[in-house]
Amino acid sequence: MSHGDADAAEGKLDLVPLIDTVMLLLLFFIMTSKFTTEEKAISSLLPTDKGQLSNPQTKTVEEPKQVNIRIFPAGMEKGYQPSEYRDQLAKMRQPGQNIDFADFYIGANPLLKVDGKTLSRSRDAKAVSQALDEVHGFVMKSLETYESGTGERKDQHPVIIHCFSGMSWRFALIAYDAVRAYEATKATFKFSGNPDELARMREVTFAPPRIRNYSANELGNELFEIIHMK
């Protein structure tokens, strides 16, 4: 009679196979589990009736009305030549490095200086929330001055985000997020995530690239254009 059979005869349960199985399961979960951040998303719709894709019959000679959000390295001001912006940029950062501070402009409203370092602090939720609140407050206050009529939100002037191409993605996305938050306060329906609903919302897009060759001279030209944009 085997050991297991003897235990069974005595009324004892052989727990060894159970423990083996549970240990293997445990090992599997320990090895395969990853405690990652729960990611979410902000939806966007690229326009199909503008630029290269537009129908020539619908083109208009009238200058389109739009709200421009301009984002560029903090401290840069109007009144310089492209070559001077190129030199300022070279002093501000080494190639491949980030620009930590950005100036946000919406029309003639006073600027907001945004600290990118604070926004990158993943463990300091309070500081990040505070930095986000500042941007949201600034965008809400500014966009309120550009409200036109009381029609549907899709009839409001489109918002175009003009971010300097050498800035970090976080600055452009935060501006986009703030506009979406503003729109959520004005919307007549709650966005469920269904892409069909995006057509009923205000158009918020990122401006297409101004340059293709990202040499120092071209970056100076790009800064000149964004800083002097109306």
Report 45-104 residues binding another protein (CB under 8 A).
Answer: 45-49, 51-53, 55, 96, 98
Region near another protein per CB under 8 A, out of 61-69, 73-81, 86-94, 169-177: 169-177
Separation between Cα atoms, residue 178 and residue 201, nearest integer Å? 15
Q: What are the C-alpha distances in Å from 130 to residues 62, 108, 118, 119, 200?
A: 41, 24, 9, 9, 31
Q: Which of 6, 8, 18, 90 binds another protein (CB under 8 A)?
A: 18
Residue positions counted in the chain: 230
For another protein, give the closer residue by CB, 79 or 96: 96
Helix (H, G, I), strand (E, B) or coil at 135: helix
Q: Does 214 bind another protein (CB under 8 A)?
A: yes
Q: Which of 163, 204, 226, 227 binds another protein (CB under 8 A)?
A: 163
Q: Which of 59, 78, 213, 230 binds another protein (CB under 8 A)?
A: 213
Categorise residue 51: left if φ over 0, alpha if ψ from -120 to 50, beta otherwise.
Answer: left
Closest approach of another protein to the CB of residue 167, in Å: 5
Q: Does 171 bind another protein (CB under 8 A)?
A: yes
Q: Which of 2, 11, 17, 38 binds another protein (CB under 8 A)?
A: 38
Look up residue 51 and give its DSSP letter: G
Region near another protein per CB under 8 A, out of 86-94, 140-148, 151-159, 187-195: 187-195
Number of residues that bind another protein (CB under 8 A): 75
Closest approach of another protein to the CB of residue 98, in Å: 6
CB 149 within 8 A of CB 155: yes
Closest approach of another protein to the CB of residue 132, in Å: 5
Burial of 102 (0-12, 13-18, 19+ CB in 10 A): buried
> What does the angle CA 178 – CA 182 – CA 184 come to, to the nearest 5 degrees?
115
> Terminal CA-to-CA distance of the chain, rounded, Å?
94
Q: Does 195 bind another protein (CB under 8 A)?
A: yes
Phi, psi of 71 (to 5 degrees): -130, 125
Site string for another protein, 119-158 (x = CB under 8 A): xx-xx-xx-xx--x---x----------------------
